[in-house]
Amino acid sequence: MAEKMISAGYEEVRDIKDADFYILNSCSVTAIADSKNLSYIRRVKRENPNIKTIVTGCMAQLERENLLKNDLIDYVIGNNEKNDIAEIIKSGQKLKVSDIFSHNNFRYEKIHEPFRTRASIKIQDGCNNRCSYCTIPFARGKNRSNSLKNILEQIQIFVEEGYQEIVLTGIHIGQWGEDFSSPLSLQNLLEEIEKTSVKRYRLGSLNPLELNKNFIDFLSSSNKFCPHFHLSLQSLCNKTLRNMKRFYSEEQIFNLVDYINIKFDKAFLGSDIIVGFPGETEEDFEITKHNIEKLNLSRIHVFPYSRRKGTEADLLPYQTESEVKKMRSTVIQDISKKKLNNFLNQNIGTENEVIIEKRRDKKTNLLKGVTKNYINVLIDADDSFKDTLKKVRLISVYDEAQMKAEII
């Protein structure tokens, strides 16, 4: 959107007081995300009462004209219309949101200079699943994949611009290619990426069902794949998983995580867990907790269940009290801290590759970067190492999420 606005003659300014427009690309995955969106808008209008606010993204898609009832919001632009943002603003049209399910093709325009050390490529949008708690399919539509040709061309652009790592993102990347007239799989895409000159690639979150042994074998044979898995587990209790409409079992997760740990030495294994799903009893939660303790994960992102309008779970009886959700979140967060600390300690003395970022760490003024297996490291070295890929040795744990490393 920034590129679109700039090429249409607009200019990016740092200070809200100097801006004519404020674009909020909203998330709506939880009720907290919605309320944060509105608080950003309030803050911006307070700082600059003349600014025009534009809400796009998932909240715009789901709430549409309802948002225009709020005096603080001037434009509402849907997910599929984002690419036309500059024209819509110029036309003065206040509401432009199409039916997301009417779109069968992925809309993609190539981007340049994504402002970061790692460049993200969106490989697909939408999701064909219907987990009972989730509004994402209603905000993003059905699975639509970016073409192999587009993705490879975009990688080439990033490589020529000097990017050494790409991150493949999307809403449900495991469904990439299923919508093509001759269907392809995520593994087919990665096999093609292996042939490009990009140095390394990372995957966004994966549904555990989409990681079979064959795929893990392929990943473990790659020199470009960053051994960093983000598994969207959501629960580790069979009853809750069934109610969530997530079609895998505790046993399958144990087999999967064990297999990844056999095939990879010290892969980072992150995961998402929702606590307090409707009907999750104390016993159910204990099962999830017990299984998480036993599983060899590196970190867990925990989300208290958020009730979303229009979902099946919203209609379920036995909604969990917020106090209980908070308590369960704290329990899982504490386990996660221990697991991450464990993981970092296991990495002391190991060697890894780091892409050193262009900016130094604000707090320590040290150089910073991320290892292939997703550890944030701080390095005491001079500016000539910025924006380079270097081999390092991890020497100590610096704090709860970072390690110190030295260049070899």
The reply to whether 379 sits near ligand SF4 by the rule CB under 6 A is no
CB 17 within 8 A of CB 47: yes
User: Which lies closer to ligand SF4 via its Cβ, residue 172 or residue 202?
Assistant: 172
Least CB distance to ligand SF4 at residue 232 (A): 6
Which residues does 90 contact at the CB level (< 8 Å), separation at least 6? 8
Least CB distance to ligand SF4 at residue 336 (A): 20
Stretch that binds ligand SF4, among 30-38, 40-48, 69-77, 130-138 (CB under 6 A): 130-138
Least CB distance to ligand SF4 at residue 98 (A): 20
3-state SS assignment for residue 22: strand
What is the 8-class DSSP label of residue 266? S
Nearest in space to 84 (alpha carbons), one of 74, 96, 75: 96
Least CB distance to ligand SF4 at residue 311 (A): 9
3-state SS assignment for residue 339: helix
User: Which lies closer to ligand SF4 via its Cβ, residue 270 or residue 369?
Assistant: 270
**Choice from 25, 70, 93, 129 touching ligand SF4 (CB under 6 A):** 129
**Choice from 59, 89, 97, 131 touching ligand SF4 (CB under 6 A):** 131
Count interface residues toward ligand SF4 (CB under 6 A).
10
Window 184-243: residues binding ligand SF4 (CB under 6 A) = 207
Least CB distance to ligand SF4 at residue 133 (A): 7
Least CB distance to ligand SF4 at residue 205 (A): 8
Stretch that binds ligand SF4, among 61-69, 128-136, 146-154, 336-344 (CB under 6 A): 128-136
Least CB distance to ligand SF4 at residue 123 (A): 15
User: Which lies closer to ligand SF4 via its Cβ, residue 129 or residue 291?
Assistant: 129
Q: What share of the chain is helix, strand, coil (3-state, %, to 5)?
A: 40, 20, 40
User: Which lies closer to ligand SF4 via its Cβ, residue 130 or residue 294?
Assistant: 130
The long-range contacts involving 312-317, CB below 8 angstroms and separated by at least 24 positions, are: 312/130, 312/132, 312/133, 312/245, 313/132, 313/133, 313/243, 313/244, 313/277, 313/278, 316/132, 316/243, 316/278, 316/279, 317/278, 317/279
CB 253 within 8 A of CB 241: no
Which residues does 255 contact at the CB level (< 8 Å), separation at least 6? none
Residue with token string 């539509």: 141
**Choice from 54, 58, 67, 127 touching ligand SF4 (CB under 6 A):** 127
Task: Write the CA distances from 42 to 6, 49, 183, integer angstroms.
Answer: 25, 10, 45
Window 133-192: residues binding ligand SF4 (CB under 6 A) = 134, 136-137, 171-172
Q: Which residues bind ligand SF4 (CB under 6 A)?
A: 127, 129-131, 134, 136-137, 171-172, 207
